[in-house]
A and B are shown apart, each in its own frame.
Chain A
């Protein structure tokens, strides 16, 4: 078929109004999109709104994380103890393996899937900026990690209060543990989210996160143990600044009377521990935002 030359009609073209009814309802801004994204992200982190198989792992981990708290409360009432055998703030240290696996496994759910399947392009085509997308995802993971950390603390607290331990003391200790949990969640979210947004392969991101969190903690703990043996406490204190869990332990021994190896001594060192905890969290968030800005710029 010979090609027909397209007639150039110039300005004579019109857009016909076929009489369809346009949308004239309220239009929600990017704030609503971001909060919807946050909510779905938070639900997805626990497998809600996803397939049944995806719910198994987060709830299994949550149950395993809650189990020691239930046992502790049970043992406490059984033996009529007048204090909790395991302090609120020490709990997250004792279950750090479960916490690490939870963030390492669930961060890729929020950060890697959209990148791997290319659905990130659909999100960024909306009026939502890449930074808002990143912050919404980050906040979802932060909230999920916080829930994971706070559920056993709440269980211990309820058990302690019902067993009529000293109310004001228990409340104070639980509040301190909650504050420390927020700081720990900030660090874990920043680190795992950044790794998951850089690495698209799920398995790779999981192992890399575990390596950073647990191998880092192992190295720092070894250095702290040796410096304690050698009497060079300052070395151990400085080494403690380099791993989220050792920072958490340092913060715990600063706020409560829990004992850990080479706790930070002096106001400057203690302040440094808390400053580094907040800085790691902020750096993680900034890294995620920058990463998504680069993706959006492509």
Chain B
């Protein structure tokens, strides 16, 4: 890891409007939780933690964070100045991954805990469960999207198709997709912490193993793509 790259990536992530939108997504989730809690009984509308926070806001934050640390540099070609420095490519990727990962934890997983506690403070274990599941899913999402960003210019759209179409739309229709859906693995881990969360049914061991393998594999792959990086023009 390299502290200069971490500092530059943090600036790229939080600088200007990007940081604003990144903060706006969890802010919407928490604001919704506060409004619902203020107007209704405790425990009403707890589904939003799952339906909005976990399945929509968390992947969007991970997608925005991981494409922000790598995407623009590859897009405008300035990545060559970075990889021309005598810093191992893997440590470039690892530094960038750490920045995106911390942002996803802080702005994707932590709001799940806050929203859960706001909606129903009598049962903190459920909120902790969603936050833990969100942390695991966020870790994996960030790694996968970073690998996509290193692989293709259309990383954001492919990432969206994966989250919304594959996990969301098709995952709701074909239950077998749970074996290949990051969200389902995170939910499995959440279910092992609190009984209030329904388990998708892949088993805890599979969920943890799959998330670990995909995370490590994706970060390694991103490093490998950067190692054999070729410049391409914009189409």
Which positions 59-115 of chain B face chain A at CB distance < 8 Å?
60, 63-64, 67-68, 71-72, 75
Is the CB–CB distance between B168 and A97 below 8 Å? yes
A81 within 8 A of B: no
Instruction: Write the chain A residue with the least CB distance to B35.
Output: A223
CA distance A203 to B154 in the complex (A): 8
Is the CB–CB distance between A202 and B45 below 8 Å? no
Is the CB–CB distance between A222 and B156 below 8 Å? no
Is the CB–CB distance between B64 and A207 below 8 Å? yes
CA distance A105 to B28 in the complex (A): 23
Given contacts A202-B75, A215-B57, A222-B47, contact A97 B67 (CB under 8 A): no
**Stretch of A11-19, A46-54, A161-169 lying at the B interface:** A46-54
Is the CB–CB distance between B21 and A229 below 8 Å? no
Is the CB–CB distance between B40 and A206 below 8 Å? no
> Among B52, B67, B165, which residue has its beta carbon within 8 angstroms of that of A207?
B67
Which B residues contact A (CB, under 8 angstroms)? 17-18, 21, 24-25, 28, 32, 35-36, 40, 44-45, 47-48, 51-52, 56-57, 60, 63-64, 67-68, 71-72, 75, 154-157, 160-161, 164-165, 168-169, 234-235
Is the CB–CB distance between B56 and A218 below 8 Å? yes
CA distance A105 to B158 in the complex (A): 10
Is the CB–CB distance between B68 and A206 below 8 Å? no
Residues of B within 8 A of A104 (CB): 160
CA distance A126 to B127 in the complex (A): 59
> Among A202, A207, A215, A226, which residue has its beta carbon within 8 angstroms of that of B44?
A226
A132 within 8 A of B: no
Is the CB–CB distance between A226 and B169 below 8 Å? no
Is the CB–CB distance between A226 and B64 below 8 Å? no
Is the CB–CB distance between A215 and B64 below 8 Å? no
Residues of A within 8 A of B56 (CB): 214-215, 218
A136 within 8 A of B: no
> Among B17, B25, B154, B165, which residue has its beta carbon within 8 angstroms of that of A211?
B25
Is the CB–CB distance between B48 and A206 below 8 Å? no
CA distance A50 to B25 in the complex (A): 34
> Among A57, A64, A201, which residue has its beta carbon within 8 angstroms of that of B157?
A57
Is the CB–CB distance between B57 and A101 below 8 Å? no
Q: List 25 A-B contacts (CB under 8 A).
A: A51-B235, A53-B235, A54-B235, A101-B161, A117-B234, A203-B71, A203-B72, A203-B75, A204-B18, A204-B67, A206-B156, A207-B156, A207-B160, A210-B160, A211-B25, A214-B56, A215-B56, A215-B57, A215-B60, A218-B48, A218-B51, A218-B56, A219-B32, A222-B51, A230-B44
Given contacts A105-B157, A117-B234, contact A97 B52 (CB under 8 A): no
Classify chain A: how many residues form its interface, as a range: 20 to 34
Instruction: Write the chain B residue with the least CB distance to A232.
Output: B39
Measured CB to CB, the closest approach of chain A to B159, in angstroms, equals 9
A208 within 8 A of B: yes
Which positions 141-183 of chain A face chain B at CB distance < 8 Å?
none
Residues of B within 8 A of A202 (CB): 75, 156
Is the CB–CB distance between A215 and B25 below 8 Å? yes
Measured CB to CB, the closest approach of chain B to A108, in angstroms, equals 10
Interface centre among A54, A101, A203, A214 (most CB of B within 10 A): A203
> Among B44, B52, B154, B165, which residue has its beta carbon within 8 angstroms of that of A218?
B52
Residues of A within 8 A of B234 (CB): 117
CA distance A101 to B60 in the complex (A): 13
Instruction: Write the chain B residue with the least CB distance to A214.
Output: B56
Known: A101-B161, A218-B51. 4 other contacts (CB 8 A): A207-B67, A215-B60, A219-B52, A222-B52
Which positions 192-210 of chain A face chain B at CB distance < 8 Å?
199, 201-204, 206-208, 210
A98 within 8 A of B: yes
Measured CB to CB, the closest approach of chain A to B155, in angstroms, equals 7
> Among B24, B28, B44, B67, which residue has its beta carbon within 8 angstroms of that of A203?
B67
Interface centre among A51, A54, A208 (most CB of B within 10 A): A208
Given contacts A201-B75, A204-B18, A226-B36, contact A101 B157 (CB under 8 A): yes
Is the CB–CB distance between B28 and A210 below 8 Å? no
CA distance A207 to B149 in the complex (A): 14
